Structure 1
Amino acid sequence: MLWLLKSRERKAVFAMMKEAKRRGVEIDELKNVLTPEEFAALLPPEKPKFKGKIPDVTRWGLPADTEVSAKEYWTDEEILAVQASTARGEWEGAAALLASTWGNWDRRNLVNGALGEAAAADDGWLRAWREARPGDPGAALVDAESLVHVAWEVRSGLQAKHVTEDQFAAFFRVLEQAEEAVHEAAALAPDDPTPWVTALAIAMGRQYENDQYRAVWAELVARDPHHRGAHSRALQYWCPKWFGSDELMWEFAMTAAAKSPKLAPLLLVAAHESEFRDVPAWRDPRVSGALDGIVAWIDGEGRDHPATRGDRAYAAKALVENGRFDEAVEQFRQLGTRADGGMWAYSGDARGEFLATRYAACFGATRP
């Protein structure tokens, strides 16, 4: 049935068959013996997504294409240090770092996410923390977040039609445990909005109805009405692809943008969600009219905000789509070699989308 596959897919299958024969294994076993880099090397290159003459981006002071990577990685030195210590089974550094974020809720959410991910992979250090400090709100917080990560690992990132009944049953079972853990964390630290950010993820996974979701949202905004991570999660809930609609998505984004400059980039996320459904939005006045303020935020006061790298990806795309090529080049200059922003990955080819948009920016920009 190879003739049913696209040309690139056929070439990939033949390459894998050849490699499997060379290694003396079945083709299905290749994934167990190849590194991700070796597997990627078997795939023939995709045709460029950019249709014009590809510019030499280094003339604009941008990194060469070969240096660009979509690999996700942390650059925060404090988080990296704690990840290293938890990998050794130590919990004291994690506890201290999380405690230091009290009151800086956006950063607290970032750190909690990193610790939750680490605990989902190996929770030995978290169990030691909870045993050493019973009733510690930080440990309870990480426990709840880790369970959300575990739940999604059990479910997998596949479309619902490809997820088995057993996977779904386990997914919902772990989310129920996560919800219990959230309530514990919230009771131990009533002023902390962070448990309610985790609760938003649980609400989406458990398929809360709109009014149920609004009840969780009310708890969050009562503690931090401008929480960026919470707003980003909530926007996804109100998207048509989840439990909202086009109208509700835009209403949420517009209301958020009116509250704080750091929430204005949600308009770009809404535009991208619309465009992904083939609904033109990049030049919508709600987007084009907000671009100046968004760029001013991410290049100024919000430069070091946890969400800024992702916001730059959206801003670069919006600037290109609005013909503001020189400004888009500046955003790519800040992004450097990193194509790991969530926006780029929607098509399944993050690096290709990054490069294509960067080509378009340089192609339309004034000469360097």
Structure 2
Amino acid sequence: MSFLSSRRKTPRIALELDDVHLGKLLKSLRATMRGGAIASTDLCAVQVADLLTRDSNDWDRKTFRLAVLADFLSDSSVPSAWAAREPDNAAALVLRAWSTVFRARRTGNPEEVPSARTDCLHAAELAPQDPTPWIVLLEISRLERHRPADTFQVWNEVVLRDRWNREAYLSMTHYLTPEEAGTRIQVLEFVDSLRARVPANAPCAATELTSQVLHYQSIRSRGGAAGLLARNYWSDVHVTDTLDRAAQLWTEPSFFSHAAALAELNTLAYALMSADRRRDALQAFRALGGVVTDWPWRFEGDPLTVFQRAQGQAESGQ
């Protein structure tokens, strides 16, 4: 990934991060759906299909684009229309399934989840080398709180096809938290098992720092004395070591080349500001070029407002 210009730009939520083609598609989809044309659903489906045929064997890029589109289109009829028109298109089935999962997670209504599972299993048959059907099955395992043995079996199917798949590692990290189906010890064991073997610039390299930010926010959420003392978490030697390595490497131009690299820099900037390491955080803000992700900033309030305030503090050193 080539980082954006270090010149400060107006912060903005960019679902596509620095994926220019995905950004153009999202802009077109907004315009088409807002226009309300009679054939708008079919036109949107054609546009989505066109993008997802590009770089179709780049699993990292494909996973990222499918995740963004599934969330963006989860309240529309586009995924269902495409899958109905092309019932043997694996990408169409995965998009419909993932949109269903996003919708079920948001509404708390699991009624459509069985159909999403069916779509994924059919897609897996159609495209045996594709990890994305298994990624959505992993999301279903999280949503339905399946047993760890069954969930890890699905996770293994993903990494068998794409060893360092970012979405799979982060999904397992969330699944193993006390907020979902695990414990803090299970998260630490999972992260420890990765530390020595995951390349420093792999798409899943931010798994450990993500788990630390999740734990920090969990402590904050408890309130009381624990919440007030949460900042002390960043002085733990293992946490400090993770931050040191990330601050040194991640902001280097072209260190990361995966699709969600700017999301990792958002996580890094947030963590460094939480640890009151503003000089280090400034380098992450500069590398971001104003691209803001919803998480982890939303924990503190409106993401854009929180990001801008933190960036200003890093720049002023106050």
Report the TM-score when normalising by structure 2.
Answer: 0.78
Distance in structure 2 (CA, Å) of the matches to 1:117 and 1:358: 27
- Where does 1:104-253 land on structure 2 (aligned, <5 Å)? 104-124=58-78, 126-128=80-82, 130-131=84-85, 133-155=86-108, 171-253=109-191
**Letter of the structure 2 residue corresponding to residue 221 of structure 1:** V
Counterpart of 1:255 in 2: which secondary structure?
A: helix
The answer for the alignment partner of 1:344 in structure 2 is 297
Q: 1:81 to 1:126 in 2, by over 3 A?
A: farther
Cα separation, 2, equivalents of 1:176 and 1:324:
46
Q: Among 256, 278, 284, which residue is 2:236 paired with? A: 284
Superposed CA deviations along residues 161-217 of structure 1, whole A, max 9, x for unmatched, are xxxxxxxxxx22211111111111111111111111111111111121222211211
Q: Is the 8 A contact 2:270 2:296 kept in 1?
A: no
Cα distance in structure 2, aligned partners of 1:318 and 1:310: 12
Any conservation in 1 of the 2:83–2:96 contact (CA below 8 Å)? no
CA distance in 1, matches of 2:278, 2:71: 37
* Count of matched residue pairs: 286
* Equivalent position amino acid for 2:175 in 1: Y
Shift of 1:68: 4.0
Single out whichever of 246-255 and 322-331 deviates more from structure 2.
322-331
Residue in 2 aligned with 1:272? Answer: 213
Equivalent position of 1:28 in the other structure = none
Change over 3 Å in CA distance of 1:294–1:181 after alignment to 2: same
CA distance in 1 between partners of 2:281 and 2:114 (Å): 44
Once residues 223 and 61 of structure 1 are traced to their aligned partners in structure 2, the CA distance between those partners, rounded to angstroms, is 39
Query: Which consecutive unaligned segments of at least 5 residues does structure 1 have?
Result: 1-59, 156-170
Give the counterpart letter for 1:253 in structure 2: V
Indicate the structure (1 or 2) with the bigger Cα radius of gyration: 1
Corresponding residue to 2:21 among 70, 75, 78: 78
Written as runs of structure 1 = structure 2, the 5 A alignment for 1:28-43 is none
Residue from 258, 272, 282 that aligns with 1:305: 258
In structure 2, do the counterparts of structure 1 residues 125 and 340 end up closer, same or farther at CA, with 3 Å as the change threshold?
A: closer
- Whichever residue aligns with residue 276 of structure 1, its letter is Q
Q: Go from structure 1 to structure 2 and tell me whether the alpha carbon gap of 1:282 and 1:142 turns closer, same or farther (over 3 Å shift).
A: same
Residues 337 and 188 of structure 1: CA distance in aligned 2, closer, same or farther (over 3 Å): same
Asked whether the 8 Å contact 2:135–2:167 carries over to 1, the reply is yes
Separation in 2, partners of 1:362, 1:185: 48
Question: Do the aligned residues in 2 keep the contact of 1:264 with 1:294 (CA within 8 Å)?
Answer: no
Assess, with a 3 A threshold, how the Cα gap between structure 1 residues 220 and 298 changes in structure 2: closer, same or farther.
farther
- The separation in 1 between residues aligned to 2:233 and 2:260, in whole angstroms, is 22
C-alpha offsets along residues 261-292 of structure 1, whole Å, 9 cap, x if unaligned?
Answer: 23332222122122223354323222322334
Question: Please, what TM-score do these two structures have when normalized by structure 1?
Answer: 0.69
Q: By how many angstroms is 1:251 displaced?
A: 2.1
- Residues 220-242 of structure 1 show CA distances to partners (whole Å, capped at 9, x for unaligned) of 12112210111112111111211
Change (3 A) 1:119 1:349: closer
Cα distance in 2 for residues equivalent to 1:152 and 1:105? 24
> 1:109 Cα deviation (Å)?
0.7
Tell me, in whole angstroms, the C-alpha distance in 2 between the residues paired with 1:345 and 1:322: 17
